[in-house]
Every structure is written in C-alpha cells, then in structure tokens.
A = this chain, B = another copy of it.
Amino acid sequence: MVKQKDKVIHTKSACDRSLAGVRDALYVLNGKWKLPIIIALSEGPSRFKDLQRRVEGITPKLLSKELKELEQNEFVVRHVYPQTPVLVEYELTEYSRSLDDIIQAMADWGFQHRARIQSR
C-alpha cells in the first residue's frame, strides 16, 4: 500500500491476499471428503477398510481417489506390508498438522452453527 498525495493506492488489498490464500487452500482441500479423512486419521494410522468405516458414507472408489490426492499433497503416507492378505496402512504426515487451525476453526464454527439452527 503506497500513499501518493492524498490518494491511497492499494497495490494489493488485504482482501486480495486473503482471497488468494483461501483459494489456494480450497484448491488443495476441495471436495467434501479431504478434511473428514484427515480427521479420521488423526486418531491414528488406519487401514483402508477401517478408514471407510470411520469416514461414514464414503465409497471405496472415492476413498481411494481422495487418499491418492492427499498423498500427493503430502498429508498422508501409505505403508504397505507384504503379507497375505496384504496389509496397507495410511498415516498422517507431520505436515498435515499444519491444518490443525483450519480444522479447529471449522469444527468450532460447525458446532455453533448447528446450535443456532436448532434453536429455531
């Protein structure tokens, strides 16, 4: 932000910056499943089937696809233990912890919002 005589010139407004940030975040966290999966995994590493149970309502196809994306964004690691039958575990990365603030904020808000809705 630069002042010039009496005019204020916004080279980049606070709003633009937060817009860019939010868009970047939404780009990575898109869809209705990414955060729920991460939350489910925050209880500890989990196998595919167990994860599917924890994240209620998700189909294997979607879970598989979302896990791949989460892996690419380095939120999740996939461990394969070659046995019969094979055992696969998904685990959160250290970096996934950086999402804690977002998750906390959303969880709090959702909780309040539900109370608000129900009181009517």
Within 8 A of B (CB), among A1-25: 13, 15, 17-25
B28 touches A42 (CB 8 A): no
Query: A112 contacts the other chain (Cβ, under 8 Å)?
Result: yes
A17 touches B107 (CB 8 A): yes
- What secondary structure prevails in chain A residues at the interface with B? helix
Q: Measured between alpha carbons, how far is A65 from B67 in the docked complex, in Å?
A: 30
Query: A87 contacts the other chain (Cβ, under 8 Å)?
Result: no
Copy number in the complex reads: 2
A21 touches B101 (CB 8 A): no
Q: Measured between alpha carbons, how far is A40 from B25 in the docked complex, in Å?
A: 16
A18-B107 contact in complex given A32-B26, A32-B30, A36-B23, C-beta closer than 8 Å? yes
Neighbouring B residues of A114 by C-beta, 8 Å? 20-21, 24
Which residues of chain A have a CB within 8 Å of any CB of chain B?
13, 15, 17-28, 30, 32, 35-36, 39-40, 42-43, 98-99, 101-114
